[in-house]
Structure 1
Amino acid sequence: MTDFVTRFRARPRADRKVTHLPDGRPPVELTHLRLDRRARAVAAWLTAAGMAGKPVLLLYPAGLDFLVAFLGCLYARAVAVPAPLPLSGSSRVDRVDRLVEDSGARLVLTDEAHVAALGGLSARTFDETAAPGELPEVDADTVAYLQYTSGSTSRPRGVEVTHGSLTHNLELFGKISGDVPVRRIGGWLPHHHDMGLVGLQLQALHAGADLVLLSPEAVIARPIRWLRAISDHRVDWTAAPDFGYAWATRRVGDQELAGLDLSCLTMAVSGAEPVRPATLDAFVHRFAPVGFRRTALNPGYGLAESTLVVTCTSRGLGPTVRSFTPASLAAGEVVATSDADGVPLVGCGEPGGMEVRVADPATGVAVDDGTIGEIRVAGPSLAAGYHGDPAATRATFVTGPDGRWLRTGDLGFVLGGQLYVTGRLKELIIVRGRNLYPHDIEFAALEAHPDAGRGAAFGVRDADSGEHVVLVQEMRRAARGDPGEFAEAVLDALTRQFGVAVSIVVVRSNTIRHTTSGKVRRGHMRDLFLEGGLSALRSVPTPAVAAIVATSKGSHV
């Protein structure tokens, strides 16, 4: 298997291009051939600077300069470190400081527009006037880049993605596409996110496809821009988290559908967070009149420690949705049902080039199909480990008699060949022997009231009474509503659906903390709750939770 870098630089195509669609400005384009030439110049400059094997932090806005710099690092065997561009006064500044310290980067690259703003990091632009020289050979075991995890359950860790694991994962996308080669890939996910980097940008270069890019900020502001780019450029492959599809469904108005044609789209990958049947159904219903087909939806499962994709529904099959009894999901042994009160789950595809095993989290022993356990993964796409953290590497990448397996920390089960993901092991809430998943509670709260926004559900525990459910829930338009009535409506819906007591803290919009990739930081919200760090519009704790909070606050005095 020829590695990605060798393959791309051996035959960059002049008839394929990368296009960035800046908001309100003309498109910016580079052919694959021109992209390769610019990347070679960057590689020559990095090589002359002695950066082979050393980390280079890449801080870029959405656009083509990042891709040039990233390829230049790979060509020069420097270790690329994609990161979000820090904004003054934002949490991104602290995050970048941590990445600089953790990665050991001594060179920071950015575009000309941000050199002055990033002066504190001694950031600089690369020199594209350097004469391209002999490029070093790429070894499969050499680290290509550090993909920092989102840090939703712990501090961000730098996943060491090798050239070999990257190439294998890109080949998996080719298998998912099937016999019909992808022609044009388009999307808006950040280039510092694994799904945006591998699932969009690098996949387009590997497949020899055109690439159309938008900025996340532009699409969040007006999601029609994403769909319009698909329609206008005849994109056949896109990718987004469940949130992206839900956002487009809610925010694209009837008048914006005029002239839209989504019949070109044959691969719409959904991953990076739980895939909800309601989101898929609503997206199909909303955009079927302009040519979108349900068979174009491709739910998948992946994570940075496996470069990106582990499983994904193949092109043309459409999503598999099955319902299970709530009691069986809570007990960990699923039972399918056709009853109206069944819980629908979306299959994330069949394992292809990776091995997937569901195991008992405590023993590591594989469990039967239909039994919920920890998802474990093996195969050539696995990363080398965590940068500078051998203890975490040993704990997560477990080597045994049957090979090297990744403990994903995700819970799920296999049934009928399909992988179903149910939640995070560390975030699972166990109340009197029942398994409750935070995202299910959060989604039920969102559906309970029109003013419900983002929520964060988690468990708090004491030695005597076990674990208790807490929900920190944003209330949109709080100034015009009654937080007490809002809390009662949400609690009533949760009690009916889950049959357990829930403590609720109603807060204003933009209170829930999330990672750079949009995942809820439930552990952080739990800490704020216990430390009294939330400004509540209304708080309704159960007596047990009130006692836990009082004890916790006392321990911080």
Structure 2
Amino acid sequence: MTEHSNRETPDTEPSQRLLAIVEEMARELQPDRTAPRSPSLQSRLDRDLGLDSLARSELLLRIEHAFDVKLPEETLMAETPAALLEALQRARGTVTTARVSPVDPAAEITQAAANTTPATPLAPVEGEPESAETLNAAMDWHLERHPERPHLFIYGDDDHPRTLSYGELDRGGRDIAAALLARGVEAGDRVALMLPTSPDYFIAFLGILRVGAVPVPIYPPARPAQLEEHLRRHGRILTNAGAEILVTVPEARRVAHLLRADAPHLEAIVTVAELCDGVDTAAAATPQGENLALLQYTSGSTGDPKGVMLTHAQLLANIRAMGKRLEATPEDVFVSWLPLYHDMGLIAAWLASLYYAIPLVVMSPLSFLSHPLRWLELIQRHRGTIAGSPNFGYELCLRAARPEQLEALDLSSWRIAFNGAEPVSARTFERFAEALAPCGLRQEALMPVYGLAEAAVGLCVAAPGRGVVLDAVNREVFATTGEARPEPDPEAAQTFVNCGPPLPGYSVRIVGPQGEALAERHEGDIEFRGPSATEGYFNNAEESRKLYHGEWLRTGDRGYLADGDIHLSGRRKDVLVRGGRNIYPYDLEEAIGGLEGVRKGCVAVFGNPNAESGIEELVVVAETHVDVAVQREAITHEIASVTVDIVNLPPDDIRLVPPHSVLKTSSGKIRRGATAEHYRSGHLGKGQAPVWRQVTELALRSAFQRWRHGTARAVEWLYAGYAWSIFAIAMVLVALLALPQPRLAWRWRVAHHIARGTALLTAIRIRGEGLARFPHREPCVLVANHASYLDALILTAVFPCSFRYLAKAELRQPFLTRFLLQRMGVLFVERDNTREASHTTEKVLQTAREGASPAFFPEGTFRPEPGVQEFHMGAFVSAAKAQVPVVPVAIRGSRMLLRGKEWLPHPGEVSVVVGIPLQPRSPDWSEAVRLRNEARAFIVAESGEPDLDTSRT
């Protein structure tokens, strides 16, 4: 249909055209559904037609394109086509009187950008609140220095933001604090927040902190019609948190009585306006760093609420670690639509911006869903440098964008476009970068990240400017053994997204089925530890106990490490992610199991990743005895209706299956993962094999799995025994052939050839880079990172010249060890004896002056986890005083061969990269510091491991 006909169609036709668009959307979402009913003007978009908020967003875009109008964002809350038609008619009336020419999308974006002139560049901010131990203290730091500095630009329905400075935010917060104190709120009390993105949210949150109380963010209902059911579901969260006050929207007060049964401890439901009504400011409590600052409920957990406990110190530790990695400064501008009840929107966007004095431009999630390109337009308008979204947000922008709209955008200021909170789709990022490249978006700005509420928000983040890094591994090997073996052939490869290394001060490890730490490039369960790791879930000892594995925390995710970077491969926990929200199956399974016609306790809910969109689809599988088509249609409709009531979105697929199709454990628990595999393979609901065959197949599969696991372990042990035998033979050969040599240089040359042969026989492939830079004929001080017990063997195999390694004094005790090492020129040092430090430096200094080359591992020791630790100064002081060059050497890949606290070696490839010799300019301490910093920077860059020295800025 042409644009002309769109504009000239009589008024009797819009309803039919609108219903046709709605029906087309419904058919696309459920292509396998037999004979779908045609929608009427009174059909429910969610329950009857299966349109969730994302689908409605797409529907609004199609309506706008078809009718050449712009619909207001509240249209997204329309429940029926009739409500859509009413909004459309109002919009068309506005268009008719105000505009006679077609919409020019490019001009529209250009005009929108012009409506608000970007603010005058803000005055620079010196430093950051490094000494602050609480969020309150960080706020006070800014108030003392620049209370009038704009902090928040909050966009509502129009193009003119409400601006809040630090001073205005604080004054509003103190009014809220006084009102809460007047109502008896004390330090440590929990106060629930159920507010949309608005000035009220920020003021209320800060006011709760000013009392020393604990905010409990709860997501607001998507549509007013859901308010009653929404409050009922969140009664358990309010009860678990022990919240006595709920700060919310005025509409919620009308149904406050509904919470009396579900949240008996809740004493008051109030609005921000009521709290700000004429209460004198009063003195508030001053929290400490160890005090609870936030309860972050894993959204969707209404059956067994899990409120992640985060203290002020933990929040600040995570914010500082993220800011350091991202090189955040007050010159940045953060543009966000992310929900403020979610850790990514609350902590990463707002609280981090507050700490670093970064202007934060915010729009509501509803506004984003109704007009996704507005987010990009605000990035242009405010010259945004940081903005991010879950995967579905980028997809939404791609679906909404038309070429003529993108031509008018300038996104050249965008330096960090992060993607987290749900599985990252490399395809989505690739398409997004390609589509927005003409707008100035650089590919290196794209940044996949990994985090979780139990770590506050961020855990693994790459340095800015790296872009999207993909790891192609052999699909068959990964599926059968869990080894992520690199695969150059695209046909045989499976690709995983690199989500970066752990943040400074954090560690990540991969563990196997028995809790044993796995080597790099082996898939297993992801565990972490760090300064913001939660102490558990509030008032939920059982779930808190499950969270911990010794000093490590279980993430519930699966993946592998490669060169210290995390690659996600799946999830062990049953939670599924949709639209950036966590959805927990249990509540939904219970509710659906209570429907007439559905077998109770025989319902499985799980996620199914969509390879094209990157979105995790919601699948419901329910057993039933019903065979009549009309009754099955009614059951399907009821399941969709219940699903909308509980999780605010309809299922993408509903499967009614015969009894015994939903798989269970021997104790009767739902095996969601196994049922999902049957769903994906097409075996769901098919007739069951005879019992004897099922038992036989189960026994064979079990035996095969045991055989495969046992074979893998046997191969590991066989290789380990073989490798240690080769190492022992090499030691004997060194003793017989090298030690008798009269000169140290000759002894080292023999040891060099023996080390090369040892590496060859144990399948350790060593590749040297930049060896020509090494000053073979002149003395120097060699410094290298230390990642494995085999580092000395590797260096000996690479360099034929002699070194004077430094070894800990404990190795001097056994006679044979002392004799062997002394003959090889090793210098023994007291590592932890401060009094001996000066003596050791003089010993090394004398060695260098005599023309020998000392070799240091300046970290002193190594850990099982990847990362370059702090460097001790001894090597660099010695080089500066002796005026000999420092040669930095980066060893890459040795950790996976034989990591700390392990005695099972592995074959693999190692790179040894030699840097340009660093010449000392003077014997001063400052020169030694320069040598250390430059050598360490080279080693961190070339080793492929994260920087663990949190003391460096």
Name the TM tier (shorter chain): 0.7 to 0.9
Task: Name which of structure 1's ranges 85-94 and 212-221 shifts more when overlaid on structure 2.
Answer: 85-94
Residue number in structure 2 paired with 1:62: 197
TM-score for the superposition, normalised by structure 1: 0.77
| 1:546 corresponding residue in structure 2 | 686
State the shift of 1:134 in Å.
3.3
1:387 aligns with 538
Question: Could you tell me which residue of structure 1 aligns to residue 509 of structure 2?
Answer: 358
Q: How far apart, CA to CA, are the structure 1 residues paired with 2:269 and 2:239?
A: 15
Deviation of 1:360 after TM superposition, in Å, equals 2.7
- How far the C-alpha of 1:147 sits from its partner, in A, is 0.6
Match of 1:339 in 2: 489
**Structure 2 CA distance for aligned equivalents of residues 523 and 5 of structure 1:** 48
Q: 1:6 aligns with which of 117, 137, 141?
A: 137
Alpha-carbon contact 2:643-2:650 (below 8 Å) kept: no
Counterpart in the other structure of 1:139:
288
Per the TM alignment, residue 335 of structure 1 is displaced from its structure 2 partner at its CA by 1.0
Determine the C-alpha separation between the residues in 2 that align with 1:155 and 1:9.
37
Whether 2:150 is the aligned partner of 1:16: answer: yes
| 289, 301, 304: which one aligns with 2:453 | 304
The one-letter amino acid of 2:289's match is A
State the partner residue of 1:219: 368
Letter of the 2:225 partner, please give it: S
Equivalent in 407, 410, 415 of residue 557 of structure 2: 410
Secondary structure at the residue paired with 2:288? coil
In the other structure, the counterpart of 2:863 is none
Q: Deviation digits for residues 248-271 of structure 1, max 9, x if unmatched?
A: 112211222242111111111110
Corresponding residue for 2:567?
Answer: 420
Whole-angstrom distance in 2 between the partners of 1:320 and 1:214: 30
1:99 aligns with 2:237: yes
State the 1:547 CA deviation: 4.4
Once the two structures are superposed, the pairs formed by residues 19-30 of structure 1 within 5 Å of their partners are 19-24=153-158, 26-30=160-164
| 2:226 match | 89
- One-letter amino acid of the counterpart of residue 424, structure 1: R
Call closer, same or farther: CA 1:548–1:101 in 2, change over 3 Å.
farther
How far is 1:427 from its partner? 4.9
Letter in 2 for 1:369: E
* Unaligned runs of at least 5 residues, structure 2: 1-130, 260-267, 576-605, 623-635, 664-678, 692-953
Deviation readout 1:267-288 (Å, 9 max, x if unpaired):
1111001111101101100101
CA offset at residue 520 of structure 1? 8.8
* Cα distance, 1:518 vs structure 2: 8.9
Higher relative contact order (CA 8 A, sep 6+): 1
Query: Per-residue deviation at 1:140?
Result: 1.8
- 1:368-423 deviation per Cα after TM superposition (whole angstroms, max 9, x unaligned): 0001111111111112210111111111033x3xxx32111100111012111111
Query: Secondary structure, in 3 states, of the residue corresponding to 2:225?
Result: coil
Shift of 1:548: 6.7
- Correspondence 1:72 to 2:207: yes
C-alpha deviation, 1:48, in angstroms: 3.4
- Residues in 1 aligned to 2:525 and 2:654: alpha-carbon distance in whole angstroms: 20
1:513–1:506 CA distance, 2 compared to 1 (3 A): closer
Query: Take 1:322 and 1:348, find their aligned partners in 2: how far apart are those partners?
Result: 11
Q: Distance in 2 between matches of 1:336 and 1:166?
A: 37
Looking at CA atoms only, which structure, 1 or 2, has the larger radius of gyration?
2
Given that residues 150 and 519 in structure 1 are in contact (C-alpha distance below 8 angstroms), is that contact kept between their aligned partners in structure 2? no
Deviations 1:79-120 (A, max 9, x none): 111011234336633432222222121101124565446575
- The match for 2:270 among 111, 124, 127 is 124
1:327 Cα offset (Å): 1.4
Secondary structure in 1 matching 2:335: strand
Is contact 1:346–1:420 with CA below 8 Å preserved after alignment?
Answer: yes
> Aligned partners of 2:540, 2:656: CA distance in 1, in Å?
26
Flag structure 1 segments of 5+ consecutive residues without an equivalent: 429-437, 448-452, 461-504, 532-538, 552-557
**Which structure 2 residues correspond to residues 46-61 of structure 1 after superposition, within 5 A?**
46-51=180-185, 52-61=187-196
Is the 1:410–1:421 contact (alpha carbons within 8 Å) kept by the matching residues of 2? yes
Matching residue within 449, 463, 471 for 1:314 = 463
Match of 1:248 in 2: 397
What secondary structure, in the 3-state scheme, does the structure 2 residue paired with 1:377 have? strand
Contact 1:150 1:516 in 2 (8 A): no
Q: Residue type matched to 1:443 in 2?
A: N
Bigger Cα displacement from structure 2, 109-118 vs 211-220: 109-118
Residues 446 and 548 from structure 1, CA distance in 2 versus in 1: closer, same or farther, beyond 3 angstroms? farther
Matches within 5 A, 1:141-540: 141-151=290-300, 155-178=304-327, 181-330=330-479, 331-341=481-491, 342-398=493-549, 400=550, 404-427=551-574, 442-444=609-611, 455-456=617-618, 530=662
Higher percent of residues as helix: 2
Q: For 1:259, what is the secondary structure of its paired residue?
A: coil
More strand by share: 1
- The verdict on how the C-alpha distance between 1:39 and 1:416 changes in structure 2, with shifts beyond 3 A counting, is same
C-alpha distance after superposition, 1:19-52 (max 9, x if no partner): 1111236421211221012112222222333322
Once superposed, what is the RMSD of the aligned Cα atoms?
A: 3.8
Q: Which moved more, 1:365-374 or 1:38-47?
A: 38-47
Question: TM (normalized to structure 2)?
Answer: 0.47
In the TM superposition, structure 1's runs of 4+ consecutive aligned residues that sit over 6 Å from their partners are 457-460, 505-529
- The residue aligned with 1:32 is 166
8 Å contact from structure 1 (residues 58, 83) kept in 2: yes
- Mean Cα deviation higher: 71-80 or 312-321: 312-321
Shift of 1:458: 9.2
Q: SS at the partner of 2:490? A: coil
CA distance in 1, matches of 2:135, 2:164: 19
CA distance in 2, matches of 1:518, 1:354: 39
CA deviation after TM superposition for structure 1 residue 328, in Å: 2.6
Quickly say closer, same or farther: Cα 1:278–1:517, change in 2 above 3 A: farther
Partner Cα separation in structure 2 for residue 458 and residue 333 of structure 1: 32
Q: Is the 8 A contact 1:182 1:207 kept in 2?
A: no
Equivalent residue for 2:179, pick from 42, 45, 48? 45
Question: Against the structure 1 CA distance between its residues 418 and 55, is the aligned structure 2 distance closer, same or farther, given a 3 Å change threshold?
Answer: same
Shift, 1:182, TM fit: 4.8
Distance 1:162 1:225, change over 3 A: same
What letter corresponds to residue 408 of structure 1 in structure 2?
Answer: T
Contact map agreement 2:391 2:423 (CA 8 A) in 1: yes
Residues 30 and 222 of structure 1: is their aligned pair in 2 closer, same or farther, counting only changes over 3 Å? same
Going from structure 1 to structure 2, the CA distance change for 1:520 and 1:315 (only over 3 Å counts) comes to farther
**C-alpha separation in 2, matches of 1:392 and 1:30:** 40
Gap change, CA 1:354 and 1:151, over 3 Å in 2: farther
